Amino acid sequence: MEKFYETTAIDYVNGAPHIGHAYEKILADVIYRHFTQRCDNTFMLTGTDEHGIKIQKTAASKGITPKQMCDENSQMFKDAWKALDFDYSKFIRTTDEQHVRVVQHIFKKLMEQGDIYKNKYTGLYCSGCEAFLSEKDLTEDGLCPDHLKKPEVVSEENYFFKLTKYKEAIANHINTHPDFIVPAFRKNEVLHQLENIEDISVSRAKSNVSWSIDVLDDPDQGIYVWIDALSNYITAIGYDVDEQTDQFKQLWPVNLHVIGKDILKFHSIYWTGILMALGLPLPQQILAHGWITIDETKMSKSLGNVISPTTLLEHFHLDKPDAMRYYMATAAPCGKDGNYSDKDFKEKVNAHLANSMGNLLNRTLSMLVKYFDGDVKPEFKIDSPLKNKAIETVKDVMHHFDYYEVQEAAQKIMLLVDEANKYVTDSEPWALAKNGEMDKCGQVLTTVLDVMCVISSLIYPYCPNIAQDMAKQLSYDLKSTKLQDIKSDNIKVGHLIDKADIHPVFLRIDSELADKSKKK
């Protein structure tokens, strides 16, 4: 791959980050880290969406300015992503001066070329969605299906984007690019929405929504959320109406937008239409992920089941976020909904990260020290079906990531871990040592350690800290090894490790050592 440019949705800063936000960022980061292992030129964009009526009202209720609230809440999102080791390249805020300036000129360009026009409008407005809805969008009771609230009737003179002008071209693109929408089962849903599409409002009267970017030459109008928010994907990398930066030319079109299924319509239809109007190449793919429920129940403030990602780390005394990253990234098949529960979290990460993977490395290194003082001899290096299986797994994992099947890729990794554990159990290196068959014992241990190097590369996107700890104990160059270049022979002949340097890479959550309160 020449380059890999990935984005997440930018988060609305009307509240604090929760586990739903964290799910998207972890999923996106796992995909991103995987492709950094295959490509040198990579870029990850995330950020915050900071304009609109909800922010205006919430800030007023707190007695602070909208900008003050945006500054405070945007920092909360940054702090949360730092705690989760989200490896983004840039964090954009839609209040950034550069973004504001370019959005104004995008709006002006579209207006000058006839793609934006002014019109009086009466429609059903959902403040939760920050969108106008049609009667067909509502439930039988006349409610917004996502927020279960009745939209208000709004009459304004606004600017509209001629989305209907691009309707046929959008449908043609979706139909001729079967990989454009991931997962594929969402394609028909989008095409159905497109059938009933109308021109969309892209401004609001400043008298109703004052906290917005001004429309140039019309100070009574503010640029509405979609041109403002969606344009971040190009403004962040140097797009300008008159001249593009080298970075923009290098990175655009984006390889992957990672978003929630609830905003797929805006990305696959609205954003596609805006880009067509700007004469820009379209995104290569849009991944619409599902939602995370809590104990099989949708998150809700009224139910009191909204979980902060940092609170979860603190609750389980996790110094590093790897366990949470692994659990969340593997919570659901591609595009489907997933679920979080404390019980399942503990059971899954203890079984996979501590009992299976961590214990395999720990006991193998311990036997190498016990029987060979931590040395690897030339005669220990042999070919093995297990090592061949490891290389096959690398190819399988890469294939799954090509389709953003993150859960499915993790399952392949854990199958390899299980194969390696079975190999140790069946080979019984302790029995070989007892019987004096030392070369065979060393061959078994070295084979497993060679495979553990491969596993550290494959698990790195999910668990970067655990992977680097594994690689350090194996003296394996994790950072410089591209996935397509991985070999089955990784452990160097000579002294590998001393007893003092062997330690568990992940402690069981319910173990005394993992519980800081018990340590004290």
In a domain, 324, yes or no: no
Lowest-confidence region among 148-157, 287-296, 353-362:
148-157
Residue 467 is predicted with a pLDDT of 98
Residue 440 is predicted with a pLDDT of 98
Q: Are residues 465 and 373 in the same domain?
A: yes
Give the domain extent around 255.
Answer: 4-294
In a domain, 306, yes or no: no
- Active-site residues: which are they? 18, 21, 126, 129, 144, 147, 298, 301
| Nearest alpha carbon to residue 291 among 15, 23, 8 | 23
With pLDDT > 90 as the criterion, what percentage of the chain qualifies? 85
In a domain, 203, yes or no: yes
Q: Are residues 369 and 268 in the same domain?
A: no
| 282-340 tens-digit pLDDT | 999 999 999 999 988 876 665 666 788 899 899 999 999 999 999 999 999 999 999 99
In a domain, 319, yes or no: no
3-state DSSP percent of the chain in helix, strand and coil, to 5? 50, 15, 35
State the Cα–Cα distance between residues 75 and 54, nearest whole angstrom. 18
In 285-356, the DSSP E strands lie at: 286-289, 292-294, 338-340
Q: Are residues 135 and 205 in the same domain?
A: yes
Residue where a domain terminates, one of 294, 328, 354: 294
pLDDT, the chain, mean: 94
Token digits of residue 19: 């586990």
Of 127 and 420, the one with more pLDDT: 420
Residue 304 is predicted with a pLDDT of 65
Q: Are residues 387 and 508 in the same domain?
A: yes
Give the residue ranges of DSSP H helices in 330-463: 342-349, 359-372, 385-402, 406-427, 429-434, 438-459
Q: Are residues 376 and 289 in the same domain?
A: no
| Nearest alpha carbon to residue 464 among 119, 165, 87 | 87
With a CB cutoff of 8 Å and minimum separation 6, the contacts of 237 are 5, 43, 45, 90, 245, 247, 248, 251, 252
pLDDT at 157 over 80: yes
Give the residue ranges of DSSP H helices in 185-292: 187-195, 225-230, 232-235, 246-251, 264-265, 272-278
Residue where a domain terminates, one of 238, 263, 294: 294
Tell me which H or E stretch contains 16: none
DSSP state of 216: T
Q: Are residues 393 and 285 in the same domain?
A: no
Question: Do the beta carbons of residue 202 and residue 160 sit within 8 Å?
Answer: yes
In a domain, 130, yes or no: yes
CATH number at residue 271: 3.40.50.620
| Nearest alpha carbon to residue 33 among 43, 23, 48 | 43
Q: Sorting pLDDT into bands at 50, 70 and 90, what band is 513?
A: low
CB-facing half-sphere around the CA of 51: CA atoms within 13 A: 27
Q: Are residues 269 and 354 in the same domain?
A: no
Lowest-confidence region among 125-139, 141-155, 208-222, 246-260:
125-139
Token digits of residue 288: 């619409």
Q: What is the pTM of this model?
A: 0.93
Question: Do the beta carbons of residue 147 and residue 126 sit within 8 Å?
Answer: yes
Report long-range pairs for 143-149 (Cβ below 8 Å, ≥24 apart).
Answer: 146/262
State the Cα–Cα distance between residues 215 and 212, nearest whole angstrom. 9
Tell me which H or E stretch contains 5: strand 4-8
In a domain, 247, yes or no: yes
Of 76 and 155, the one with more pLDDT: 76
pLDDT at 515 over 60: no
Helix then strand count (H, E) for the chain reads: 21, 18
Residue 144 is predicted with a pLDDT of 86
With a CB cutoff of 8 Å and minimum separation 6, the contacts of 275 are 281, 282, 283
Q: Are residues 31 and 92 in the same domain?
A: yes
Q: Are residues 270 and 371 in the same domain?
A: no
Residue 511 is predicted with a pLDDT of 62
CATH number at residue 438: 1.10.730.10
State the Cα–Cα distance between residues 128 and 58, nearest whole angstrom. 13
In a domain, 335, yes or no: no
Q: Are residues 273 and 400 in the same domain?
A: no
In a domain, 476, yes or no: yes
85: left (phi over 0), alpha (psi -120 to 50) or beta: left
Residue 59 is predicted with a pLDDT of 96
SS3 218: strand
pLDDT at 517 over 70: no
| 18-66 tens-digit pLDDT | 999 999 999 999 999 999 999 999 999 999 999 999 999 999 999 999 9
- Indicate the number of domains in the chain: 2
Q: Are residues 220 and 139 in the same domain?
A: yes
Q: Which residues pair with 48 in a beta bridge?
A: 11, 93
Q: Are residues 352 and 416 in the same domain?
A: yes
Q: Sorting pLDDT into bands at 50, 70 and 90, what band is 516?
A: very low
Question: Do the beta carbons of residue 154 and residue 237 sit within 8 Å?
Answer: no
Q: Pairing state of beta strands 131-133 and 90-93?
A: unpaired
Residue where a domain terminates, one of 277, 294, 311: 294
Residue 518 is predicted with a pLDDT of 41
Question: Do the beta carbons of residue 22 and residue 309 sit within 8 Å?
Answer: yes
